[in-house]
A and B are shown apart, each in its own frame.
Chain A
Amino acid sequence: MTTALDVDLRIDLNTMDETGLPWTFLDQAPDPSLIVPGRHIVVGSGAAVAVAVVVDITDEGIVHVQPLKGSVASNARFLKTDPASRRPSDLLPDPVEAGGTSWDETVQPEAKTPGDTGRKGTRRHQPGPTSSGP
């Protein structure tokens, strides 16, 4: 047993679906308003946690995430560390301006469009083309 780190989205990082990405339901987020495509959040459960980019939220309320390589500590720069600054989301600076959500080319989500994935459902949200990696 271990002490669980607070996560923005509880997800079993063993999971995969047709997108090739880990998934869970939006209602597994303590604060669903934080789950916004393109945002970096802390995901996982128990001792298996990671910083991840929210890839999309489907019409069925399925959230896909792309975990970043490395520990939460090593990717902390991608997170807004002041919890108060994380909500409401419309008070936050644009992620690109803040320099906090640049895509790491090594961790590009495998799926960006339903056509890429073979998914039959439509997606409610898609991350913008925020490729401005270092």
Chain B
Amino acid sequence: MADRVPRIRRAPLPADALIVVRGDDLIEGSSHVQAEEFRRRYPDWDRWGLSGFYARNDSDVDDLAGDQLERFPLLRLYRPAVLEAAGFEIVPTFRTPHVTIAFDGDLEVGLQRLRVADHDERNNPYHGES
């Protein structure tokens, strides 16, 4: 039987992890689907989860934009303190710099909190490059 909880890194997020970046595929409902899939795969954790990546600075964001998030036309950049104030937990999961934006309660309510949480939007300059 595979693990029914996500693997959490022992090291906490570094204090200078100032940004959480998540790619946006411009489709309404994608986050809903991912949160449901996450919970389906890790039911014993009993939380919704969305994938993101932490960054220390704009250079890190640029690296993510050209690598893991290359396929996304739009990036959403959150400050960890804003997410935490909105009731989300930023959990260092799997491989650095991946994080899981975790929350519980009603899924739609949580996703709406994420939508309205203060954040920046950035067009991905690497999207669509051949």
Contacts and interface: CB of A to CB of B under 8 A. Distances in A.
**Is the pairing of A and B real?**
yes
Contact of B41 (A44, A47, A62): A62
Given A16-B94, A71-B130, A119 B2 contact: yes
Contacts, number: 101
B129 A70 contact: yes
Contact-residue size bin, chain B (C-beta under 8 Å from the other chain):
35 or more
A74 B130 CA distance: 5
Interface in B37-63: 37-38, 40-41, 50-53
Contacts of A58: 2
Interface residues of A, number: 36
Contacts of B50: 14
Overall SS of chain B's interface = loop
B128 interface: yes
Interface stretch (A17-25, A29-37, A82-90, A92-100): A17-25
Interface of B: 1-3, 6-7, 22-28, 30, 33-34, 37-38, 40-41, 50-53, 68-74, 93-95, 98, 128-130
B130 A45 contact: no
